[in-house]
Amino acid sequence: MVVVGASAAGVAVVETLRREGFDGPISLIGAELELPYDRPPLSKRMLSGQWTAERTVLRPRATVEGWNTDLRLATRAVRVDAAARRVILDDGDELAYGDLVIATGVRPRLLPGLPQVPGVHVLRTLADAVALRDALTDGPRLVVVGAGFLGAEAAAVACELGADVTLVSDLEAPLADVLGPELAGMLLDEHGRRGVRVETGVRADEVLVADGRASGVRLVDGRILPADEILVAIGAVPETGWLDGSGVPVGNGVFCDATCSAAPGVWAAGDVASWEHPGLGERIRLEHRTNAGEQGMAVARNLLAARAGRPATPFAPVPYVWSDQYDLTIQIYGRPRPGDALRIVEGSTAERSLVALHGRDGRVRAATGINRPRQTRAARALVARAAPWETGSAPEHGEREGVPA
Protein backbone atom coordinates (compact mmCIF):
# COMPACT_ATOMS: atom_id res chain seq x y z
CA MET A 1 0.00 0.00 0.00
CA VAL A 2 1.38 3.39 -0.96
CA VAL A 3 -0.12 6.70 0.21
CA VAL A 4 1.37 9.75 -1.52
CA GLY A 5 0.76 12.90 0.50
CA ALA A 6 1.20 13.12 4.27
CA SER A 7 -1.20 15.90 5.19
CA ALA A 8 -4.75 15.64 6.57
CA ALA A 9 -6.09 13.31 3.86
CA GLY A 10 -3.10 10.97 3.76
CA VAL A 11 -3.05 10.76 7.54
CA ALA A 12 -6.76 9.94 7.64
CA VAL A 13 -6.19 7.15 5.12
CA VAL A 14 -3.39 5.56 7.13
CA GLU A 15 -5.12 5.97 10.46
CA THR A 16 -8.32 4.42 9.16
CA LEU A 17 -6.53 1.54 7.45
CA ARG A 18 -4.87 0.59 10.74
CA ARG A 19 -8.05 1.14 12.72
CA GLU A 20 -9.97 -1.14 10.37
CA GLY A 21 -7.43 -3.88 10.93
CA PHE A 22 -5.20 -3.63 7.86
CA ASP A 23 -1.81 -4.83 9.08
CA GLY A 24 0.09 -5.03 5.78
CA PRO A 25 2.92 -2.70 4.81
CA ILE A 26 2.08 0.98 4.14
CA SER A 27 4.46 3.54 2.68
CA LEU A 28 3.46 7.14 3.48
CA ILE A 29 5.24 9.65 1.26
CA GLY A 30 5.38 13.32 2.29
CA ALA A 31 7.06 16.09 0.29
CA GLU A 32 7.64 18.27 3.33
CA LEU A 33 10.23 17.92 6.05
CA GLU A 34 7.94 18.08 9.08
CA LEU A 35 5.80 15.41 10.66
CA PRO A 36 2.23 15.69 9.30
CA TYR A 37 0.77 19.02 10.38
CA ASP A 38 -2.50 20.86 10.06
CA ARG A 39 -3.00 23.70 7.59
CA PRO A 40 -5.99 25.75 8.85
CA PRO A 41 -3.93 27.25 11.72
CA LEU A 42 -1.40 28.57 9.17
CA SER A 43 -3.71 31.47 8.32
CA LYS A 44 -5.11 31.73 11.85
CA ARG A 45 -3.39 31.14 15.17
CA MET A 46 -0.05 30.06 13.76
CA LEU A 47 0.14 33.24 11.67
CA SER A 48 -0.89 35.39 14.62
CA GLY A 49 1.89 33.94 16.76
CA GLN A 50 -0.53 32.48 19.33
CA TRP A 51 0.63 29.01 18.31
CA THR A 52 4.13 27.74 17.75
CA ALA A 53 4.86 25.50 14.79
CA GLU A 54 4.95 22.46 17.08
CA ARG A 55 1.31 23.06 18.02
CA THR A 56 0.17 22.39 14.44
CA VAL A 57 1.13 18.69 14.37
CA LEU A 58 -1.78 16.52 13.29
CA ARG A 59 -0.93 13.63 15.59
CA PRO A 60 1.70 13.24 18.31
CA ARG A 61 4.92 11.57 17.19
CA ALA A 62 4.15 8.45 19.26
CA THR A 63 0.81 8.06 17.42
CA VAL A 64 2.48 8.41 14.03
CA GLU A 65 5.11 5.86 15.00
CA GLY A 66 2.37 3.55 16.27
CA TRP A 67 0.98 3.27 12.73
CA ASN A 68 4.10 1.31 11.88
CA THR A 69 4.41 2.77 8.39
CA ASP A 70 7.36 3.25 6.12
CA LEU A 71 7.19 7.04 6.55
CA ARG A 72 9.29 8.95 4.02
CA LEU A 73 9.34 12.68 4.59
CA ALA A 74 11.06 15.28 2.39
CA THR A 75 10.39 12.86 -0.45
CA ARG A 76 8.33 13.36 -3.57
CA ALA A 77 6.70 10.87 -5.85
CA VAL A 78 7.73 11.87 -9.36
CA ARG A 79 6.00 9.27 -11.51
CA VAL A 80 3.46 6.46 -11.49
CA ASP A 81 3.27 3.46 -13.77
CA ALA A 82 -0.33 2.42 -13.20
CA ALA A 83 -0.05 -0.59 -15.51
CA ALA A 84 2.92 -1.99 -13.57
CA ARG A 85 1.57 -0.61 -10.27
CA ARG A 86 4.76 1.17 -9.31
CA VAL A 87 5.51 4.59 -7.86
CA ILE A 88 8.87 6.22 -8.56
CA LEU A 89 10.29 8.60 -5.94
CA ASP A 90 12.62 11.56 -6.36
CA ASP A 91 15.41 9.70 -4.56
CA GLY A 92 15.26 7.01 -7.23
CA ASP A 93 13.47 4.42 -5.15
CA GLU A 94 10.58 2.52 -6.70
CA LEU A 95 7.68 1.22 -4.67
CA ALA A 96 5.35 -1.53 -5.88
CA TYR A 97 1.75 -1.18 -4.71
CA GLY A 98 -1.43 -3.15 -4.53
CA ASP A 99 -3.36 0.04 -3.89
CA LEU A 100 -2.18 3.62 -4.37
CA VAL A 101 -3.84 6.56 -2.64
CA ILE A 102 -3.14 9.98 -4.16
CA ALA A 103 -3.39 12.74 -1.56
CA THR A 104 -0.93 15.29 -2.90
CA GLY A 105 -3.20 18.27 -2.33
CA VAL A 106 -2.80 21.59 -4.10
CA ARG A 107 -0.19 24.29 -4.53
CA PRO A 108 -0.80 28.04 -4.59
CA ARG A 109 -1.81 29.56 -7.91
CA LEU A 110 0.61 32.31 -8.84
CA LEU A 111 0.17 35.51 -10.79
CA PRO A 112 1.65 35.13 -14.27
CA GLY A 113 5.28 36.18 -14.21
CA LEU A 114 5.32 36.55 -10.44
CA PRO A 115 8.86 37.56 -9.47
CA GLN A 116 10.53 35.34 -6.87
CA VAL A 117 11.94 38.12 -4.73
CA PRO A 118 11.94 38.90 -1.00
CA GLY A 119 8.61 40.31 0.12
CA VAL A 120 6.52 38.04 -2.10
CA HIS A 121 4.62 35.40 -0.14
CA VAL A 122 2.24 32.53 -0.66
CA LEU A 123 0.64 30.62 2.19
CA ARG A 124 0.41 26.88 1.94
CA THR A 125 3.14 25.35 4.06
CA LEU A 126 4.43 25.78 7.56
CA ALA A 127 7.55 27.41 6.13
CA ASP A 128 5.33 29.88 4.23
CA ALA A 129 3.48 30.75 7.45
CA VAL A 130 6.69 31.26 9.42
CA ALA A 131 8.08 33.51 6.70
CA LEU A 132 4.92 35.61 6.52
CA ARG A 133 4.60 35.83 10.30
CA ASP A 134 8.19 37.01 10.60
CA ALA A 135 7.57 39.59 7.88
CA LEU A 136 4.60 41.05 9.78
CA THR A 137 6.43 41.95 12.98
CA ASP A 138 7.27 45.56 12.19
CA GLY A 139 3.91 46.82 10.99
CA PRO A 140 4.66 46.67 7.27
CA ARG A 141 2.42 47.72 4.43
CA LEU A 142 0.89 44.41 3.33
CA VAL A 143 -1.08 43.91 0.15
CA VAL A 144 -3.10 40.70 0.06
CA VAL A 145 -4.00 39.75 -3.49
CA GLY A 146 -7.15 37.62 -3.42
CA ALA A 147 -9.98 37.76 -0.89
CA GLY A 148 -11.10 34.17 -0.63
CA PHE A 149 -10.93 32.29 2.67
CA LEU A 150 -7.14 32.37 2.82
CA GLY A 151 -6.65 36.00 1.81
CA ALA A 152 -9.43 37.32 4.04
CA GLU A 153 -8.16 35.37 7.06
CA ALA A 154 -4.57 36.44 6.56
CA ALA A 155 -5.66 40.07 6.12
CA ALA A 156 -7.56 39.91 9.42
CA VAL A 157 -4.60 38.44 11.30
CA ALA A 158 -2.13 40.88 9.76
CA CYS A 159 -4.37 43.81 10.64
CA GLU A 160 -4.57 42.65 14.25
CA LEU A 161 -0.77 42.36 14.31
CA GLY A 162 -0.53 46.03 13.34
CA ALA A 163 0.21 45.78 9.63
CA ASP A 164 -1.16 48.37 7.23
CA VAL A 165 -3.29 46.05 5.12
CA THR A 166 -4.89 46.36 1.69
CA LEU A 167 -7.00 43.45 0.51
CA VAL A 168 -7.60 43.14 -3.24
CA SER A 169 -10.83 41.38 -4.20
CA ASP A 170 -11.89 40.76 -7.78
CA LEU A 171 -15.49 40.53 -6.51
CA GLU A 172 -17.70 43.20 -4.99
CA ALA A 173 -16.79 41.92 -1.50
CA PRO A 174 -14.63 39.21 0.05
CA LEU A 175 -16.17 35.76 -0.49
CA ALA A 176 -19.14 37.26 -2.34
CA ASP A 177 -19.21 34.24 -4.65
CA VAL A 178 -19.73 31.94 -1.67
CA LEU A 179 -21.68 34.00 0.86
CA GLY A 180 -23.82 36.11 -1.47
CA PRO A 181 -23.92 39.92 -1.46
CA GLU A 182 -25.66 40.44 1.89
CA LEU A 183 -23.32 38.37 4.07
CA ALA A 184 -20.23 39.29 2.06
CA GLY A 185 -21.23 42.93 2.51
CA MET A 186 -21.18 42.41 6.25
CA LEU A 187 -17.69 40.94 5.93
CA LEU A 188 -16.59 43.87 3.78
CA ASP A 189 -17.83 46.29 6.46
CA GLU A 190 -16.03 44.34 9.16
CA HIS A 191 -12.69 44.51 7.36
CA GLY A 192 -13.20 48.22 6.78
CA ARG A 193 -14.15 48.85 10.40
CA ARG A 194 -10.96 47.13 11.50
CA GLY A 195 -8.85 49.32 9.25
CA VAL A 196 -8.24 47.04 6.28
CA ARG A 197 -8.58 48.85 2.94
CA VAL A 198 -10.48 46.60 0.58
CA GLU A 199 -10.11 47.26 -3.14
CA THR A 200 -13.14 45.57 -4.68
CA GLY A 201 -13.99 44.56 -8.21
CA VAL A 202 -10.41 44.74 -9.40
CA ARG A 203 -7.60 42.31 -10.13
CA ALA A 204 -3.88 42.57 -9.60
CA ASP A 205 -1.89 42.87 -12.79
CA GLU A 206 1.67 42.50 -11.56
CA VAL A 207 3.97 42.64 -8.59
CA LEU A 208 6.46 45.49 -8.79
CA VAL A 209 10.08 45.11 -7.75
CA ALA A 210 12.56 47.74 -6.60
CA ASP A 211 16.10 47.09 -5.42
CA GLY A 212 15.57 43.35 -5.62
CA ARG A 213 12.51 43.16 -3.44
CA ALA A 214 8.75 43.60 -3.76
CA SER A 215 7.68 47.23 -3.75
CA GLY A 216 4.03 47.19 -4.72
CA VAL A 217 1.17 45.79 -6.76
CA ARG A 218 -0.10 47.27 -9.98
CA LEU A 219 -3.85 46.75 -10.45
CA VAL A 220 -5.39 46.15 -13.87
CA ASP A 221 -6.92 49.65 -13.73
CA GLY A 222 -3.39 51.06 -13.56
CA ARG A 223 -3.34 52.09 -9.93
CA ILE A 224 -0.31 51.14 -7.88
CA LEU A 225 -0.55 49.93 -4.28
CA PRO A 226 2.83 50.44 -2.58
CA ALA A 227 3.77 47.52 -0.34
CA ASP A 228 6.57 46.11 1.79
CA GLU A 229 5.09 42.62 1.78
CA ILE A 230 2.71 40.97 -0.67
CA LEU A 231 0.66 37.84 -0.12
CA VAL A 232 -0.65 36.15 -3.26
CA ALA A 233 -3.77 34.20 -2.31
CA ILE A 234 -5.64 33.74 -5.59
CA GLY A 235 -6.51 30.09 -5.23
CA ALA A 236 -4.71 26.83 -5.74
CA VAL A 237 -4.08 24.21 -8.38
CA PRO A 238 -4.08 20.43 -7.84
CA GLU A 239 -0.68 18.73 -7.55
CA THR A 240 -1.11 16.31 -10.43
CA GLY A 241 1.88 17.05 -12.67
CA TRP A 242 3.67 13.92 -11.44
CA LEU A 243 0.79 11.82 -12.81
CA ASP A 244 1.23 12.94 -16.43
CA GLY A 245 1.54 9.90 -18.66
CA SER A 246 0.75 7.54 -15.79
CA GLY A 247 -2.60 6.31 -17.06
CA VAL A 248 -4.35 7.89 -14.07
CA PRO A 249 -7.10 10.22 -15.35
CA VAL A 250 -6.32 13.82 -14.49
CA GLY A 251 -8.05 17.10 -15.28
CA ASN A 252 -8.89 19.63 -12.60
CA GLY A 253 -7.62 17.12 -10.02
CA VAL A 254 -7.54 13.34 -10.11
CA PHE A 255 -10.73 12.16 -11.78
CA CYS A 256 -12.47 9.60 -9.58
CA ASP A 257 -15.81 7.83 -9.64
CA ALA A 258 -18.33 8.20 -6.82
CA THR A 259 -16.34 5.82 -4.62
CA CYS A 260 -13.14 7.92 -5.04
CA SER A 261 -11.51 5.32 -7.29
CA ALA A 262 -9.56 6.70 -10.27
CA ALA A 263 -8.31 3.46 -11.83
CA PRO A 264 -7.94 -0.14 -10.70
CA GLY A 265 -6.05 0.05 -7.40
CA VAL A 266 -5.78 3.86 -7.57
CA TRP A 267 -7.73 6.17 -5.25
CA ALA A 268 -7.64 9.85 -4.40
CA ALA A 269 -8.57 11.88 -1.31
CA GLY A 270 -8.47 15.47 -0.16
CA ASP A 271 -7.87 18.67 -2.12
CA VAL A 272 -6.51 16.83 -5.17
CA ALA A 273 -9.50 14.51 -5.61
CA SER A 274 -12.28 15.29 -8.06
CA TRP A 275 -15.18 12.90 -7.74
CA GLU A 276 -18.79 12.39 -8.77
CA HIS A 277 -20.77 13.42 -5.70
CA PRO A 278 -23.85 11.18 -5.85
CA GLY A 279 -26.07 13.49 -3.80
CA LEU A 280 -25.22 16.65 -5.70
CA GLY A 281 -25.19 14.88 -9.05
CA GLU A 282 -22.05 16.66 -10.19
CA ARG A 283 -18.28 16.29 -10.21
CA ILE A 284 -16.73 18.35 -7.42
CA ARG A 285 -13.37 18.94 -5.81
CA LEU A 286 -13.19 20.45 -2.33
CA GLU A 287 -10.22 22.30 -0.87
CA HIS A 288 -11.48 22.15 2.68
CA ARG A 289 -9.90 20.61 5.73
CA THR A 290 -12.94 18.68 6.90
CA ASN A 291 -13.32 16.98 3.54
CA ALA A 292 -9.71 15.83 3.62
CA GLY A 293 -10.37 13.86 6.80
CA GLU A 294 -13.75 12.51 5.73
CA GLN A 295 -12.60 11.55 2.27
CA GLY A 296 -9.45 9.92 3.63
CA MET A 297 -11.58 7.76 5.89
CA ALA A 298 -13.95 6.91 3.04
CA VAL A 299 -11.12 5.93 0.69
CA ALA A 300 -9.51 3.67 3.30
CA ARG A 301 -12.81 1.87 3.85
CA ASN A 302 -13.60 1.58 0.15
CA LEU A 303 -10.14 0.29 -0.60
CA LEU A 304 -10.48 -2.41 2.04
CA ALA A 305 -13.97 -3.27 0.81
CA ALA A 306 -12.69 -3.67 -2.75
CA ARG A 307 -9.89 -5.93 -1.51
CA ALA A 308 -12.43 -8.07 0.34
CA GLY A 309 -14.69 -8.30 -2.70
CA ARG A 310 -17.36 -6.15 -1.03
CA PRO A 311 -18.99 -3.21 -2.82
CA ALA A 312 -17.46 0.23 -2.23
CA THR A 313 -19.69 3.00 -0.85
CA PRO A 314 -20.29 6.24 -2.79
CA PHE A 315 -18.83 9.24 -0.95
CA ALA A 316 -21.63 11.75 -0.37
CA PRO A 317 -20.67 14.19 2.38
CA VAL A 318 -22.35 17.47 3.25
CA PRO A 319 -19.40 19.80 2.51
CA TYR A 320 -18.30 21.91 5.46
CA VAL A 321 -15.89 24.81 5.75
CA TRP A 322 -15.21 27.36 8.43
CA SER A 323 -13.32 30.61 8.52
CA ASP A 324 -12.16 32.74 11.43
CA GLN A 325 -11.81 36.46 10.75
CA TYR A 326 -11.38 38.81 13.72
CA ASP A 327 -13.96 37.62 16.23
CA LEU A 328 -16.22 36.20 13.52
CA THR A 329 -16.50 32.46 13.03
CA ILE A 330 -18.13 31.73 9.68
CA GLN A 331 -19.36 28.19 9.06
CA ILE A 332 -20.82 26.89 5.83
CA TYR A 333 -22.55 23.59 5.14
CA GLY A 334 -23.24 22.63 1.55
CA ARG A 335 -22.22 24.43 -1.62
CA PRO A 336 -23.66 27.94 -1.94
CA ARG A 337 -23.46 29.49 -5.40
CA PRO A 338 -23.67 33.02 -6.75
CA GLY A 339 -27.32 33.83 -7.40
CA ASP A 340 -28.72 31.61 -4.65
CA ALA A 341 -31.64 33.00 -2.69
CA LEU A 342 -30.69 33.90 0.88
CA ARG A 343 -32.86 33.84 3.98
CA ILE A 344 -31.59 34.76 7.43
CA VAL A 345 -33.52 32.49 9.79
CA GLU A 346 -31.88 33.42 13.11
CA GLY A 347 -30.10 36.57 14.23
CA SER A 348 -29.02 39.34 11.87
CA THR A 349 -26.01 40.99 10.29
CA ALA A 350 -26.44 43.87 12.77
CA GLU A 351 -26.04 41.43 15.66
CA ARG A 352 -23.00 39.92 13.90
CA SER A 353 -24.54 36.59 14.73
CA LEU A 354 -26.85 34.69 12.44
CA VAL A 355 -27.89 31.54 10.62
CA ALA A 356 -28.80 31.88 6.94
CA LEU A 357 -30.06 29.40 4.37
CA HIS A 358 -29.11 29.42 0.69
CA GLY A 359 -31.84 28.25 -1.70
CA ARG A 360 -31.67 27.07 -5.29
CA ASP A 361 -34.15 25.22 -7.50
CA GLY A 362 -36.72 25.23 -4.71
CA ARG A 363 -34.46 23.48 -2.20
CA VAL A 364 -32.20 24.41 0.70
CA ARG A 365 -28.70 23.94 -0.76
CA ALA A 366 -26.47 25.40 1.92
CA ALA A 367 -26.46 27.02 5.34
CA THR A 368 -24.14 29.72 6.63
CA GLY A 369 -23.69 30.59 10.26
CA ILE A 370 -21.84 33.50 11.78
CA ASN A 371 -20.97 33.18 15.48
CA ARG A 372 -23.75 30.64 16.09
CA PRO A 373 -22.01 27.26 15.79
CA ARG A 374 -24.57 25.12 17.56
CA GLN A 375 -27.55 26.55 15.70
CA THR A 376 -25.68 26.37 12.40
CA ARG A 377 -25.03 22.68 12.93
CA ALA A 378 -28.78 22.20 13.46
CA ALA A 379 -29.36 23.79 10.04
CA ARG A 380 -27.07 21.20 8.44
CA ALA A 381 -29.93 18.70 8.49
CA LEU A 382 -31.92 20.94 6.11
CA VAL A 383 -28.98 20.92 3.70
CA ALA A 384 -28.44 17.17 4.05
CA ARG A 385 -32.00 16.39 3.01
CA ALA A 386 -32.31 19.33 0.59
CA ALA A 387 -35.42 20.54 2.41
CA PRO A 388 -38.03 22.42 0.35
CA TRP A 389 -37.05 26.11 0.22
CA GLU A 390 -40.49 27.50 1.03
CA THR A 391 -41.06 25.46 4.19
CA GLY A 392 -37.44 24.99 5.27
CA SER A 393 -37.24 27.87 7.68
CA ALA A 394 -35.70 27.50 11.10
CA PRO A 395 -34.20 24.11 11.88
CA GLU A 396 -36.63 22.00 13.85
CA HIS A 397 -35.53 21.54 17.40
CA GLY A 398 -34.44 18.02 18.15
CA GLU A 399 -34.10 17.15 14.48
CA ARG A 400 -31.76 14.20 14.34
CA GLU A 401 -28.86 14.80 12.03
CA GLY A 402 -27.20 12.25 9.84
CA VAL A 403 -23.75 10.94 10.60
CA PRO A 404 -21.19 12.14 8.06
CA ALA A 405 -20.78 9.67 5.23
Partner 1 sequence: MRITIDEDRCCAAGQCVLAAPDVFDQRDDDGIVILLDADPGPDQHAAVRDAAAACPAAAIMVEE
Min CB(375)–partner 1 separation in Å: 9
178 binding partner 1? (CB under 8 A): no
Residue 70 CA to residue 297 CA, distance in Å, equals: 19
Residue 339 CA to residue 337 CA, distance in Å, equals: 6
* Beta-bridge partners for 96: 86
φ, ψ at 345 (rounded to 5°): -105, -15
48, 59, 257, 283: residue in contact with partner 1 (rule CB under 8 A): 59
**Interaction residues for partner 1, span 93-122 (CB under 8 A):** none
Q: Which amino acid is at 307?
A: R
Q: What radius of gyration, in Å, describes the C-alpha atoms of the chain?
A: 22
287 binding partner 1? (CB under 8 A): no
**Interaction residues for partner 1, span 325-384 (CB under 8 A):** 329, 331, 372-374, 376-377, 380
3-state secondary structure the chain: CEEECCCHHHHHHHHHHHHCCCCCCCEEECCCCCCCECCHHHHCCCCCCCCCHHHHECCCHHHHHHCCCEEECCCCEEEEECCCCEEEECCCCEEECCCEEECCCEEECCCCCCCCCCCEECCCCHHHHHHHHHHCCCCCEEEEECCCHHHHHHHHHHHHCCCEEEEECCCCCCCHHHHCHHHHHHHHHHHHHHCCEEECCCCEEEEEEECCEEEEEEECCCCEEECCEEEECCCEEECCHHHCCCCCCEECEEECCCCCEEECCEEECHHHEEEEECCCCEEECCCCHHHHHHHHHHHHHHHHHHHCCCCCCCCCCCCEEEEEECCEEEEEEECCCCCCEEEEEEEECCCCEEEEEEEECCEEEEEEEECCHHHHHHHHHHHHCCCECCCCCCCCCCCCCCCCC
Of 240 and 375, the one with the shorter C-beta distance to partner 1 is 375
Of 131 and 305, the one with the shorter C-beta distance to partner 1 is 305
68 binding partner 1? (CB under 8 A): no
**Interaction residues for partner 1, span 7-46 (CB under 8 A):** 8, 12, 15-16, 19, 38, 40
393 binding partner 1? (CB under 8 A): no
170 binding partner 1? (CB under 8 A): no
Of 59 and 141, the one with the shorter C-beta distance to partner 1 is 59
Min CB(371)–partner 1 separation in Å: 8
Of 15 and 99, the one with the shorter C-beta distance to partner 1 is 15
**Interaction residues for partner 1, span 288-327 (CB under 8 A):** 289-290, 293-294, 297, 320, 322, 324
404 binding partner 1? (CB under 8 A): yes
Min CB(57)–partner 1 separation in Å: 8
Of 12 and 150, the one with the shorter C-beta distance to partner 1 is 12
Q: Widest CA span of the chain, in angstroms?
A: 63
Of 114 and 272, the one with the shorter C-beta distance to partner 1 is 272
Of 157 and 171, the one with the shorter C-beta distance to partner 1 is 157
Min CB(184)–partner 1 separation in Å: 21
Looking only at the bridges linking them, the beta strands covering 164-168 and 197-199 are: parallel
Min CB(15)–partner 1 separation in Å: 6
Of 32 and 401, the one with the shorter C-beta distance to partner 1 is 401
48 binding partner 1? (CB under 8 A): no
Count of residues interacting with partner 1 (CB under 8 A)? 29
Min CB(271)–partner 1 separation in Å: 13
Interface region with partner 1, contact rule CB under 8 A, candidates 161-169, 184-192, 199-207, 286-294? 286-294
Interface region with partner 1, contact rule CB under 8 A, candidates 127-135, 167-175, 176-184, 396-404? 396-404
62 binding partner 1? (CB under 8 A): no
Tell me which residues touch partner 1 (CB under 8 A).
8, 12, 15-16, 19, 38, 40, 58-59, 289-290, 293-294, 297, 320, 322, 324, 329, 331, 372-374, 376-377, 380, 401-404
